[in-house]
Amino acid sequence: MSLPVQKNDRITVHVEDLTHDGAGVAKIDGYPLFIAGALPGETVEVHVMKTLKSYGFAKLMEIITPSEHRVAPPCHVFDECGGCQVQHLSYEGQLKWKQQMVKNSMERIAKLPHVPVHPVKGMDNPWRYRNKSQIPFGLQDGRVVAGFYQPRSHEIANTDICIIQTEEADHILRDMKIELGRLGITPYNEKTHQGMLRHVVIRKGRATGEIMVVLITKKKKFPQRDETIEIIKKILPEVTSIVQNVNTEKTNVIFGEETFTLYGKDVIEDRIGDVRFEISARSFYQVNPEQTEVLYQQALEYAQLTGTETVIDAYCGIGSISLFLAKQAKQVMGVEIVPQAIEDAKRNAEINEIKNTYFEAGAAEVVIPKWYKDGIKADVLVVDPPRKGCDEALLQTILKQKPKRIVYVSCNPATLARDLMILEDGGYETKEVQPVDMFPQTTHVECVAWLELNS
């Protein structure tokens, strides 16, 4: 069967949608063409670069009719860097597109076109929101570079500024390049496994202003360590903690197993609402705490707690949602497969003097049935799974246990919709979905769904 377009064709198309990585989607007789830089609603002229059996790729040559939401991206490396995908779409346009993306998932995957999907809760200022930056360093033409990786590669888009991260991270990004060259510290090379400095991670407590800088090195000892500590203190006089993490492996995984403090405290502190969190170099902590509070308040609203409920928090992580819910529940039981996260959850409960929580390490689909046998049954179940969605065994466990209310927090509308369809078939009704924009300038969107058990 011949394709409706061929390689090297130059054609005019209408863009209908965006992919998860921000490419425009046009269809020719149902055949999708992916066009980097094109936006929904635009008529564009493209050069077909590659055709496969089910889809093709084209290069944007000319915008004939631009989208009403097209803007000039303010970042000078937007076209090179893979960190943001939709800076060329106005923030109003981003929120509208994200709402429509969630609606499409609900209609096409979950088969729930009647379920309300509310407008996305966005930010007043959708810039400088990231409280954590992981900056790779490298060498290009003999000079030290730093920035963020180009799309689908580990080539660094060299820059001094990233306008979605903190200004303190920019200072490190800009000044450390100069100082590394002066000290003769060689950045790590993934291909040759040579060099010393792999990444610099900067974390900042939004509520407290405390700052941690993490040096990720190939070896524990390097001769310029003391000078490097003094340089960081000079760049950021307000720094609270300087930590070294050692990763000796030939890998593109950022962190290694060994971590120790070079200066200041072992942890920094932040707050979401009135809940305090201690954050170590490797702790999981949401990168946009302002919107995390919005997300958790939405989960709390859907949970409809009166103080008499037992809540089970599957995928509880470091206990962040659990601690939010505990103040209005009888008890909250959290389960998480990562033992270190459970230790963090217990410590966070302790520093907040929250005594009606219990955390256990293990797979939710194993631990929750064990609790059930012990007489512990959830009135409200909260799930906040990874992008792949809930484990199939957990979904079957939920359908057997039948909590009367489920609050599903999701970072992937497609897997949310898939899981909602399973839960609906098992006797639940999805009442509504509230998207929250945790990552402005990107194609990601978080959602909170409210489900009730049918009587």
- What does the pLDDT look like over 391-438, one tens digit per residue? 999 999 999 999 999 999 999 999 999 999 999 999 999 999 999 999
Q: State pLDDT tens for residues 147-177.
A: 999 988 889 999 999 999 999 999 999 999 9
Which of the four pLDDT bands, split at 50, 70 and 90, describes residue 1?
low
State whether residue 83 is helix, strand or coil.
coil
Q: Kindly state whether residues 293 and 440 are assigned to the same domain.
A: yes
Would you state the structure tokens that stand for residue 178, as one six-digit string?
A: 């100069």
Q: State pLDDT tens for residues 37-85.
A: 999 999 999 999 999 999 999 999 999 999 999 999 999 999 999 899 9
Q: Which of 369, 451, 442, 353 is nearest to 404 (CA)?
A: 451
Q: Kindly state whether residues 255 and 300 are assigned to the same domain.
A: no
Does the pLDDT value for residue 450 go beyond 70?
Answer: yes
* pLDDT computed for residue 379 by the predictor: 97
**Which stretches of 55-210 are assigned E, i.e. beta strand?**
56-65, 132-140, 143-149, 156-158, 197-204
Strand partners, 40: none
Q: Is residue 85, in this structure, part of any structural domain at all?
A: no
Does the pLDDT value for residue 223 go beyond 90?
Answer: no
Least confident span in 131-140, 180-189, 386-395, 421-430 = 180-189
Q: Kindly state whether residues 150 and 295 are assigned to the same domain.
A: no
The CATH number for 362's domain is: 3.40.50.150
- Burial group, residue 31, by CB count within 10 angstroms (0-12, 13-18, 19+): middle
Report how many domains make up the chain. Answer: 3
Does the pLDDT value for residue 100 go beyond 90?
Answer: yes
How much is the pTM?
0.94
Q: Is residue 77, in this structure, part of any structural domain at all?
A: no
Across residues 320-332, what is the average pLDDT?
Answer: 96
- Domain's final residue, options 244, 272, 300: 272
C-alpha pair distances (Å), 239 with each of 7, 152, 160, 164, 429: 54, 33, 19, 20, 49
* pLDDT computed for residue 281 by the predictor: 94
Q: Is residue 255, in this structure, part of any structural domain at all?
A: yes
Residues 6+ apart with CB under 8 A from 28: 4, 5, 11, 13
| 162 included as an active-site residue | no
State whether residue 409 is helix, strand or coil.
strand
What whole-number distance in Å separates Cα of residue 451 and Cα of residue 297? 16
Q: How many CB atoms lie within 10 A of CB 374?
A: 8
Selected catalytic residue, list 84, 162, 316, 411: 411
Q: Kindly state whether residues 445 and 386 are assigned to the same domain.
A: yes
